[in-house]
């Protein structure tokens, strides 16, 4: 007998999620380029809808999120009955793990994958299996080689976070074709809106047609609504039905839902965010390439951030601290096997140019 409640052993194996920072070591507020938020803010229409929702705070939200599902379905050509929603797509990822994996089961994700996957996996007592990457990108063959009789879920983010890498449609289809039909393939589309030229990895078509594919999406990035925690997913009816059984009944709020619905209607805001990101992501990558002599390298990104590797004299840790001194917080990820990398969100024009100027100074260029 012990004299205090004992957490489950698999819970104590979870390394807590580390959020992006917004202040420096000495408490200064600086440009936050550590959480892949939208540097252009939020659609004014979404902000207006959010403010108008302040009238009936005593009411519970609509537990079936009918307006949100109908608006999403109309916009994306989907069946509203097959949409699940949650407190950010993080909740939807947890619902997938909770409904389809448990003790004795294995869950696969890639090396340098999104940090929520190990947490969602261990939380339900399942065993994480990490598939090796191919120069920081998703390696379909390595994932397929990691499959065993115990595999229940494969999580991939496409584009991936923190690497920004993108697996094209052929690779996603090959991955799906190589998995047993009883394995749930979760394709996390948190950054799908940022892919060059509106390219599509075919994930949503698989979720439409296959019985074992869940696509997750979020309002936190392109739609600039990270504060309001609205995410959603799409899959076959049986997948969605299982996830609904363990969903918190009221995990998305009335104001957040109103903002999300309005944001879907503001195509100008989305287009300007996409253009801004494409322009400055390309510029940023070009500028990092010019620092190649100093050992800096940008991993090709299709997201709203770039992973910069420091393989010369200037280390990622030194650059991280130097950027903080210069007024920019970025993401240093030693806990994710990337002590030599910084993940830098594409900010405003001024921020993006400021980061490059600081890196050039530190690299002696």
Ligand X SMILES: *Cc1c(COP(=O)(O)O)cnc(C)c1O
Regarding 225 and contact with ligand X (CB under 6 A), the answer is no
Instruction: Give one DSSP letter per residue of 153-206, joined into a string.
Output: EEEEESS-TTT-----HHHHHHHHHHS-TTSEEEEE-TTGGGSGGG---SHHHH
For ligand X, which is the closer residue by CB, 114 or 356? 114
Residue 235: exposure state from Cβ atoms within 10 A (0-12, 13-18, ≥19): buried
Contact in structure between 121 and 107 (CB atoms under 8 Å): yes
The dihedrals phi and psi of 110, each to the nearest 5 degrees, come to -90, 155
Is residue 39 part of the contact set for ligand X (CB under 6 A)? no
The alpha carbon dihedral of 70, 246, 121, 332 has a sign of positive
Residue 40 interacts with ligand X (CB under 6 A)? no
Residues of span 109-138 touching ligand X by CB under 6 A: 114
Binds ligand X (CB under 6 A): choice among 188, 193, 228, 266: 188
SS3 (DSSP) at 290: coil
Q: Is residue 151 part of the contact set for ligand X (CB under 6 A)?
A: no
Interface pick for ligand X out of 83, 97, 190, 270 (rule CB under 6 A): 190
* Of residues 46, 8, 32, 65, the one with CA closest to residue 244: 65
State the alpha helices, DSSP H only, in the chain.
Answer: 9-12, 44-52, 66-76, 88-100, 116-123, 140-146, 169-178, 203-209, 237-246, 254-265, 267-289, 316-326, 349-363
Min dist CB 231 to ligand X, Å, is 4
Residue selected from 98, 118, 231, 233 as contacting ligand X according to rule CB under 6 A? 231
Q: Does 73 bind ligand X (CB under 6 A)?
A: no
Q: Which is nearer to ligand X, 20 or 327 (CB)?
A: 20
Phi/psi of residue 107, each to 5°? -125, 125
Residue 161 within binding range of ligand X, rule CB under 6 A: yes
Compute the C-alpha angle 188/246/172, nearest 5°: 20
Tell me the closest approach of the beta carbon of residue 220 to ligand X, in angstroms: 3
Nearest distance, CB of residue 325 and ligand X, angstroms: 27
Residue 206's CB is within 10 A of a number of other CB atoms, namely 22
Between residues 93 and 363, which has the closer beta carbon with respect to ligand X?
93
If the CB atoms of residues 296 and 306 are measured against ligand X, the closer one turns out to be 306
Q: Is there binding between residue 345 and ligand X (CB under 6 A)? A: no
- Asked if 37 is part of the footprint of ligand X (rule: CB under 6 A), the reply reads no
Q: Does 157 bind ligand X (CB under 6 A)?
A: yes
Rule CB under 6 A: is residue 226 a binding residue for ligand X? yes
For ligand X, which residue of 34, 127, 138, 218 counts as binding (CB under 6 A)? Answer: 218
* Nearest CB to ligand X, comparing residues 93 and 355: 93
Q: Which spans of this chain sit near ligand X (rule: CB under 6 A)?
A: 36, 88-90, 114, 157, 161, 188, 190, 218, 220-221, 226, 231
């Amino acid at each position: 007998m012990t004299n205090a409640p004992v957490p489950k052993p698999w819970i104590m194996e979870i390394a807590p999620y580390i959020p992006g920072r917004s202040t420096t070591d000495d408490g200064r507020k600086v440009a936050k380029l550590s959480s892949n938020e939208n540097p252009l803010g939020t659609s004014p229409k979404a902000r207006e809808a959010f403010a108008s929702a302040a009238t009936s705070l005593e009411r519970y939200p609509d537990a079936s999120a009918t307006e949100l599902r109908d608006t999403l379905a109309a916009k994306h050509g989907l069946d509203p009955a097959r949409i699940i929603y949650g407190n950010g797509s993080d909740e939807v990822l947890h619902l997938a793990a909770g409904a389809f994996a448990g003790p004795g089961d294995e869950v696969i994700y890639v090396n340098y994958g999104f940090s929520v996957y190990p947490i969602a996996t261990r939380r339900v007592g399942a065993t994480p299996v990490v598939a090796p990457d191919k120069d920081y990108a998703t390696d379909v063959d390595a994932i397929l080689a990691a499959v065993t009789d115990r595999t229940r879920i494969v999580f991939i983010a496409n584009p991936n976070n923190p690497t920004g890498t993108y697996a094209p449609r052929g690779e996603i289809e090959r991955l799906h074709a190589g998995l047993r039909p009883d394995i749930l393939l979760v394709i996390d589309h948190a950054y799908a809106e940022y892919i060059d030229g509106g390219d599509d990895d075919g994930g949503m078509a698989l979720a439409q047609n296959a019985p074992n594919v869940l696509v997750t999406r979020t309002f936190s990035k392109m739609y600039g609504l990270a504060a309001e925690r609205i995410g959603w997913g799409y899959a076959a009816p049986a997948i969605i039905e299982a996830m609904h059984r363990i969903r918190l009944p009221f995990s998305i709020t009335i104001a957040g839902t109103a903002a999300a619905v309005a944001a879907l209607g503001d195509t100008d805001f989305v287009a300007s965010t996409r253009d801004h990101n494409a322009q400055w992501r390309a510029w940023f990558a070009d500028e990092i390439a010019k620092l190649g002599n100093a050992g800096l390298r940008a991993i090709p990104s299709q997201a709203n951030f770039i992973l910069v590797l420091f393989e010369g004299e200037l280390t990622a840790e030194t650059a991280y601290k130097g950027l903080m001194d210069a007024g920019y917080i970025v993401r240093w990820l030693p806990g994710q096997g990337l002590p030599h990398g910084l993940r830098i969100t594409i900010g405003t024009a001024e921020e993006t140019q400021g980061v490059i100027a600081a890196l050039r100074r530190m690299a002696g260029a």
